Amino acid sequence: MLMNGIFVVGAGPAGIFAARQIALAGIDAFLFNRDIKPGGLAEYGIYPLKDKMKSGLRKQFSKVLELPNVHYFGHVQVGAPYDVTIADLDAMRPAAIVFSNGAQGTKKLGLPGEDVKGVYAAKDFVYHYNQLPPYATMDFSSGKRVAVIGMGNVAIDIARWLLLDAPGRETGEVIIVARRGPSEIKFDKKEIEYVDRHLDRDQLTQELERVRERCARVGQDASPETVFENHFRRLKDPAFTSVPPRLSFRFLSSPTAILPGDNGRIAALEIAENELVLRPDGSTAAKDTEARTKLPVDTLIFAIGDKHDAQLGLPMGKEGYSTRPNPDRPAEPVFEVWDPTINAVLPGRFVSGWARQASTGLVGIARHDGEVGANKAIEYVKSAADHGTLSAQEIQSRLEAKGLRIVNKLDLALLARAEERARESGWLGLRPFSDNDAMFQAIDREREQMQSSTSEGDRLVPTT
Ligand SMILES: Cc1cc2nc3c(=O)[nH]c(=O)nc-3n(C[C@H](O)[C@H](O)[C@H](O)COP(=O)(O)OP(=O)(O)OC[C@H]3O[C@@H](n4cnc5c(N)ncnc54)[C@H](O)[C@@H]3O)c2cc1C
């Protein structure tokens, strides 16, 4: 039994760096992670070909997990309908819990036909091509004409995958559909450069001319010159020539209905033509003009952000998990969970990373958020009474008594070794094991080998 350990739910960048902060403060950190592998969206969201970035992050994550007072329980999903509830965690007597479980819910618009085949949420689609179980083996088939709703980096990642890298790809056109105009583009210059060769300059010019006047009415300059200068520099080059497949944009358009074909798959997307209206704070809102157009598409992907998983068991507010109100300093991040039914902070409960603010920021921001959230928890624990947190061994036994197969740090090392072996023997794909059973079998095989070789066994010390 320990005096006071801190639990961290989720081992993405926020959770891992929260655990590091806790461990460096001399407190045991216990990571509970839904996936077998740590890393969250850094492992299963960041574009598969960003190898250097991903392997750099993996190294940093491994270093954190090597800390002796960081304990890992992978393949454990926390939440009311899942493997363990928050009450189950409380029964293991943590002094505090930092929730860093990201934003696992998907935003839907509630449109007619949203559940037909070929309609996906961006994160699920991204999890699929990054081969996260169980998404890796689910049907995320795409066709010839794909509409992607949203103008952020995730939408561009998906376009890049469909246009350039999807195995056996057959996409002829990706259409980025946005409810407002080009002034609201959110993607970075670096990201669009992967796909801007697929734009057709004449077509984009025509689209900008189509919406130019409507944008001008709210003071936005949607002239091709300005938009090319701000977002599509390559198109300014007179020698630019477009390469297939095609990337196109459709501005001032909101999806209103999904129309299935005879095969049950989406056949068309109905969109509303929007006007822009100025809000009192100077921002713009899209207003439906009642005019409708149908875009024939066979795949539709919503890249409009994610929301928090309400099944986790934390109180929900307007923006996701409810945090302490802070009207005097609205810009200041708040990490303490708030129960609106009793108007009080839930003692010892904190949120960080995308679990605090869904779909906000890159890995560095999530890391920082995890560290600051952990500092709040450390501060709280310093003045807390002795909770008698269970030891890692006791926690593992409790979880196993629930029939769960837990992945600990030794298992991660065994899995890494099995992946290395697969690569050495010629595996060239993204991941040698893309479902949980295959990963468990690989871990078991490596364990057997380790046990039959004492010298290797000495090198891999079993530890949670
Ligand atoms: C498509 C895409 C591309 C991106 N590309 C980049 C990029 O190129 N560069 C960059 O810097 N950033 C990129 N980002 C952003 C970056 O991935 C995030 O900033 C970061 O991963 C958020 O970290 P997090 O720990 O808060 O959440 P996540 O990374 O989502 O981690 C959440 C963790 O919680 C676990 N979990 C979830 N639910 C539960 C539960 N109920 N119980 C237990 N565990 C749970 C998950 O298994 C996961 O390990 C990208 C994001 C997306 C979606």
Question: How many residues appear in the chain?
Answer: 464
Residue 363 CB less than 6 A away from ligand 1: yes
Residue 443 CB less than 6 A away from ligand 1: no
332: tokens are 């200041």
**What is the full per-residue pLDDT of the chain (464 aa) written as tens digits?**
568 999 999 999 999 999 999 999 999 999 999 999 999 999 999 999 999 999 999 999 999 999 999 999 999 999 999 999 999 999 999 999 999 999 999 988 889 999 999 999 999 999 999 999 999 999 999 999 999 999 999 999 999 999 999 999 999 999 999 999 999 999 999 999 999 999 999 999 999 999 999 999 999 999 999 999 999 999 999 999 999 999 999 999 999 999 999 999 999 999 999 999 999 998 999 999 999 999 999 999 999 999 999 999 999 999 999 999 999 999 999 999 999 999 999 999 999 999 999 999 999 999 999 999 999 999 999 998 899 999 999 999 999 999 999 999 999 999 999 999 999 999 988 999 989 999 999 999 999 998 888 655 555 554 66
Q: Is the pTM of this model over 0.75?
A: yes
Atom of ligand 1 nearest to the CA of 312: 41
Question: Is the bond preceding 238 in cis, omega lying within 30 degrees of 0?
Answer: no
Buried b (16+ CB within 10 A) or exposed e, 257-288: ebbbeeeeebbbbbbbbbebeeeeeeebebee
- 286 φ, ψ to 5°? -90, 135
Atom of ligand 1 nearest to the CA of 77: 42
CA-to-CA distance for 431 and 179, rounded, in angstroms?
A: 37
Measured between its terminal Cα atoms, the distance across the chain in Å is 15
Nearest 5°: the CA angle 432, 434, 436 is 120
CA-to-CA distance for 325 and 345, rounded, in angstroms?
A: 9
Residue 181 CB less than 6 A away from ligand 1: no
Nearest residue (CA) to ligand 1, atom 7: 46
CB of 160 within 8 A of CB of 150?
no
- 141 φ, ψ to 5°? -65, 145
Q: Using DSSP, state whether 235 is helix, strand or coil.
A: helix
Q: Using DSSP, state whether 157 is helix, strand or coil.
A: helix
Say how many Å lie between the CA of residue 110 and the centre of ligand 1: 25
Q: Tell me, what amino acid is at 168? A: G
Residue 196 CB less than 6 A away from ligand 1: no
Instruction: For ligand 1, pick from 46, 49, 82 the residue to mutate: most ligand atoms within 8 Å of CB.
Output: 46
Q: Which of 311, 309, 313 is nearest to 89 (CA)?
A: 313
Q: Using DSSP, state whether 295 is helix, strand or coil.
A: strand
460: tokens are 């891999």
Nearest residue (CA) to ligand 1, atom 2: 45
Pairing mode, strands 105-106 and 306-307? antiparallel
